[in-house]
Amino acid sequence: MSDAAIPFRKQMDFEYGVAEEVTPMVRRIVARNPSGFTFHGTNTYIIGRGRVAVIDPGPLLDEHLEALVRELDGETVEHIVVTHTHHDHSPGSEPLQNRVGGTLWGARPRPLPAGTKTTESIHWAFAPDEELTDGTVVKGDGWTLESIHTPGHMSNHMCFALPEEDILFSG
């Protein structure tokens, strides 16, 4: 093992509402919902060109929805995939789907055991068209997303591997 520390980057160059190319296959738009949990804001990713997928449409913010719709103009949204159902990741999925189409993928929130109290902000109404499980593969034009069930942050949490770019979207 190396003694070198993993660098923690606190700087991120971005502009709210503007898509930034992360790789030739991946664009990112940051929602204006900064907090101790979201850093500068929730990252929404667009995968592919022409026929695309959107990962984590984010919170219910009109500004963010309009930025996504603008960036997606002229493209076909085939899939909208959600990592988990906290209010900063999934509530924007239904309004986005209503505007641009696409199949909504995700894992429904799991009921809490009777008597459990939580202060978590859970989007209980999330209802995907297709239920994700560990290993589900969502394919598009030149890209593949494989879901990896990663409970802990939330019981229905999924990461998405994009093998064509060696990227893992952790949500």
For 92-142, how does the pLDDT look when each residue is reduced to its tens digit (9 = 90+)?
999 999 999 999 999 999 887 888 887 778 999 999 999 999 999 999 999
Q: What is the mean pLDDT of residues 38-48?
A: 96
pLDDT at 2: 59
Give me 149's structure tokens.
């069930």
**Residues 9-37: tens digit of each pLDDT:** 778 889 999 999 999 999 999 999 999 88
CA dihedral 162, 38, 6, 147 (to 10 degrees): -20
Give the C-alpha separation, 116 to 57, whole Å: 28
pTM value?
Answer: 0.93
pLDDT at 90: 97
Evaluate the CA torsion angle 42, 139, 66, 18 in order and state its sign. positive
pLDDT at 7: 78
Full strand arrangement of the beta sheet holding 158-162: 137-140, 143-149, 158-162, 167-169
Q: Is 94 left (phi over 0), alpha (psi -120 to 50) or beta?
A: alpha
**Residues 135-166: tens digit of each pLDDT:** 999 999 999 999 999 998 899 999 999 999 99
